[in-house]
Amino acid sequence: MPFNVGHQSSIPIKISSLVKTKTNSDELKVGVCDLMAWLCLLMILSTCQTTWALDTRSESKLSNLTRELLESAREPEFFGWLKRIRRRIHEYPELAFEEDNTSQLIRSELDSLGVEYNWPFAKTGVVGSIGSGLQPWFGLRADMDALPIQEMVEWEHKSKNNGKMHACGHDAHVTMLLGAAKLLERMKDELKGTVKLVFQPGEESYGGAYHMLKEGALDNVQGIFGLHVAPEIPVGTVDSRPGTMLAASGRFIATINGKGGHAARPQDTRDPVLAASFSILALQQIVSRETDPLDAMVVSVSFVEAGQAGNVIPETVRFGGSIRSLTTEGLVFLQQRVKQIVEMQAAVHQCTASLDFMEEKMRPYPSTVNDEAMYEHAKQVGEALLGESNVLLAPMTMGAEDFSFYSQKMKAAFFFIGTKNEAVRSVKRLHSPYFVIDEEVLPIGAAFHAAVAISYLDGHAMDTQ
């Protein structure tokens, strides 16, 4: 029970026993010190009681908020609207920076909701705004682009754009954020600040987040939250972790030039195939022999292009792949060593080499790092929404996300939201042509987005006054 500071009888203190009536000055000092100690204890216990009461009221308020949001998003009319939007986007997937129809759909839905927005950012990006327009500003992010994959799932809403598929769940991300917009718009007069709805293009390898930031789409935004579907964890669960969560990632293409010729006369050639082969083998030793085994790094060569004829040594070989590290500094190290090794191996074989890290076209991603306070905030919201046992600690992985660019500029939290459900075959991993999601995730994601934003504004409104 909380300590009742309103009644002196809770701790029976006889003042006369603390302050002696004797005139001895030393005894009097001791008595006064004892009295002060008891008064300090009373003040501490009073503060603890007040804090406990405030925390209890705060938890109760958050619990009520999340329950109301989720119940609203699960109403048949609302849920049906979410499913229709997701299926329309799924049927017409668009690749990075080509999301014109998806962007138009988003703007149409925002118009119908009465939500103001600005566009275009990074060609097709949209940023909606709900609330007072005053600080604090808090961002909710969804990526829009699809993958160059042929969908193999046979269902009524299969992709109608040949060779393109929402195999990473971005159709669900857009839908959940539009759902959050609908929930937030209903409460716009109660928001203690402003929510920015960030619909971002080009996440898949092209760093759309970087371009959104470069064009000022998130200027003055103090914090941001993002969700990504996860077929590894069940519907009704979420996971994340404080600090480093996802790897920094970059691409490279190496071109080795030699001297081609007839395969019967190798002495007349400078064989780039041999140089490339030694380079690829040497690259594998960076991680195994040059880095701390406890520092996770990856060097993967994923393609090789050379000649086509069996009796001709080609003049040129191209190969490339990806490099990854859990730190941005580690990625820089890998870039330097890949360049050195390929150039040196080419020189050993009397060839020349050039490296392209595609830093403009496919900008390297920094590691995704969750701000610990923002992570704790979103975690508490998730626990109120789904129950403490359904908010899991995610392992660090070598996957990458351009949400990392936001985490470099502001306090950020990135969470995975479960879609696994064997009953609807929602078990295939991301980027699979057989990828399916359980649409029950849509109202959960919408409510989670909205609750994180509302409670953030509630907690930070005083900071700006």
Q: Is 349 annotated as a binding residue?
A: no
CA distance 220 to 60: 31
Is the C-alpha dihedral spanning 11, 12, 18, 19 positive or negative?
positive
CA 4, chain centre distance (Å): 45
- The answer to whether 40 is annotated as binding is no
416: its two tokens:
């995975």
| Beta pairing class for 223-234 and 137-143 | parallel
Q: Is 262 annotated as a binding residue?
A: no
- Apex CA 223: angle with CA 217 and CA 224, to 5°? 70
Nearest to 288 by CA among 299, 277, 278, 279: 299
- In one-letter notation, the amino acid at residue 299 is V
The beta-strand segments (E) located in 64-133 are: 116-121, 125-131
Task: Please tell me the distance from the alpha carbon of residue 336 to that of residue 376, in angstroms, as a whole number.
Answer: 36
Question: Contact at 8 Å (CB) between 106 and 141?
Answer: no
Could you tell me which of 182, 165, 172, 57 has the C-alpha nearest to residue 114? Answer: 182
**Best CA proximity match to 233, nearest among 423, 385, 381, 427:** 427
Known binding residue 90? Answer is: no
**SS3 assignment, position 463:** helix
Summarize the annotated binding site as residue ranges. 168, 170, 204, 228, 431
| Binding site feature residues for Mn(2+) | 168, 170, 204, 228, 431
